[in-house]
């Protein structure tokens, strides 16, 4: 099968080096899409999703600061406001106007903050896709995943762990998926991940939801416990324009669990079915 991968590159935006991977079948003739992965997912791990999206969009998969090949280190700020500013600056640096902004988990929380800020001025976002964002926050139930799951697996990968070691963390994944995670997980900076995890419980993304004024699709995992039915009802009360779809057979890592179901969940939200 012919790949839609175009190139990987770096750009300086919001004061740091940001690395990204571009996937596109029709180049700049297609609408741009920025895809922001989750807490321990470098851009390369979303390549299999970007390949499919690139049939319709000019896709830019971002290495969030502290992950993959983007700038990293203890001195960087990994808070939600800074990471949201990274995305805005990235889009501006590459002149990605009227783009689709899609984020998974952590990336979806950052995307909410970007779009909420955009409602107060920046109008570069055309549509917003939120893929199973953690709905934890001040005074709310904690995020169901535990921090040692991330920290322990990263430390093992820094020591050279392979597929077998990763299987105990992701027992339902294929060897190919586990191999890619083992190869790249060591690039996730421990402080970045810890700060992000803490932010899941300290940052109030619900306060941003009422101000979202671009078409928004929420894709929730049917088998996961990140977004419960009560959470879905609260989101609807906060912003009744948000469309919600559940992928019945998938856990939090939705396209890993149900690849076709993930793309079917978009329906006609982005135009032609994916």
* pLDDT score of 118: 77
Q: How many residues does the chain have?
A: 274
Q: Is the pLDDT of residue 225 over 90?
A: yes
Q: Give the pLDDT confidence of 249-262 residue by residue, as tens digits.
A: 999 999 999 999 99
pLDDT (mean) for 130-148: 97
* pLDDT score of 27: 85
* pLDDT score of 121: 54
Domain boundaries, the chain: 5-141+201-264
Q: Indicate the pLDDT class of residue 182, thresholds 50, 70 and 90.
A: very high
At the top level of CATH, the class of 5-141+201-264 is alpha beta
pLDDT (mean) for 60-64: 98
H/E element, 193? helix 190-202
pLDDT (mean) for 198-205: 98
Sign of the Cα pseudo-torsion (208, 109, 199, 22, in order): negative
Distance of alpha carbon 226 from alpha carbon 89, whole angstroms:
29
Distance of alpha carbon 197 from alpha carbon 24, whole angstroms:
32
For helices 190-202 and 106-118, the axis angle rounded to 10 degrees is: 60
Record the tokens describing residue 53, joined without a space: 């999206």
* pLDDT score of 26: 87
CA distances in angstroms from 65 to 33, 179, 194, 240, listed in the order given: 19, 23, 13, 32
Q: Is the pLDDT of residue 210 over 60?
A: yes
Q: Is the pLDDT of residue 119 over 70?
A: no
- Residues facing 36 on adjacent strands: 103
Query: Smallest Cα–Cα separation from 60: which of 23, 103, 100, 25?
Result: 23
Q: Indicate the pLDDT class of residue 224, thresholds 50, 70 and 90.
A: confident
* pLDDT score of 120: 57
Q: To the nearest 10°, report the CA torsion of 159, 17, 60, 124.
A: 140
- Averaged confidence pLDDT in the chain: 96
* pLDDT score of 264: 97
For the chain, what percent of residues have pLDDT higher than 70?
Answer: 98
* pLDDT score of 153: 98
Q: Is the pLDDT of residue 1 over 80?
A: no
Contact 140, 152 (CB under 8 A): no
Record the tokens describing residue 270, joined without a space: 């982005």
Q: Is the pLDDT of residue 28 over 90?
A: no
């Amino acid at each position: 099968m012919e790949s839609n991968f175009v190139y990987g590159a770096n750009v300086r935006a919001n004061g740091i080096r940001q690395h990204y991977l571009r996937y596109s079948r029709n180049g700049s003739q297609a609408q741009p899409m920025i895809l922001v992965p989750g807490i321990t997912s470098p851009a390369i791990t979303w390549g299999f999703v970007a390949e499919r999206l690139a049939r319709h969009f000019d896709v830019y998969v971002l290495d969030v600061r502290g992950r993959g090949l983007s700038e990293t280190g203890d001195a960087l700020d990994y808070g939600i406001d800074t990471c949201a500013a990274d995305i805005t600056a990235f889009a501006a640096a590459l002149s990605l106007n009227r783009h689709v902004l899609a984020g998974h988990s952590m990336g979806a929380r950052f995307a909410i903050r970007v779009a909420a800020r955009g409602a107060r001025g920046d109008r570069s976002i055309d549509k917003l896709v939120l893929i199973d964002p953690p709905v934890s926050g001040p005074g709310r139930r904690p995020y169901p995943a535990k921090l040692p799951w991330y920290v322990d697996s990263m430390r093992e990968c820094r020591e050279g762990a392979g597929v077998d070691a990763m299987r105990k963390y992701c027992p339902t994944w294929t060897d190919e998926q586990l191999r890619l995670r083992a190869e790249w997980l060591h690039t996730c900076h421990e402080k970045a991940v810890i700060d992000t995890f803490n932010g899941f419980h300290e940052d109030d993304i619900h306060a941003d939801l009422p101000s979202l004024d671009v078409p928004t699709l929420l894709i929730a995992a049917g088998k996961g416990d990140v977004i419960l039915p009560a959470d879905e009802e609260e989101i609807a009360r906060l912003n009744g324009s948000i469309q919600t779809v559940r992928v019945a057979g998938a856990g939090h890592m939705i396209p890993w669990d149900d690849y076709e179901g993930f793309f079917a969940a978009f329906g006609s939200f982005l135009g032609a079915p994916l």
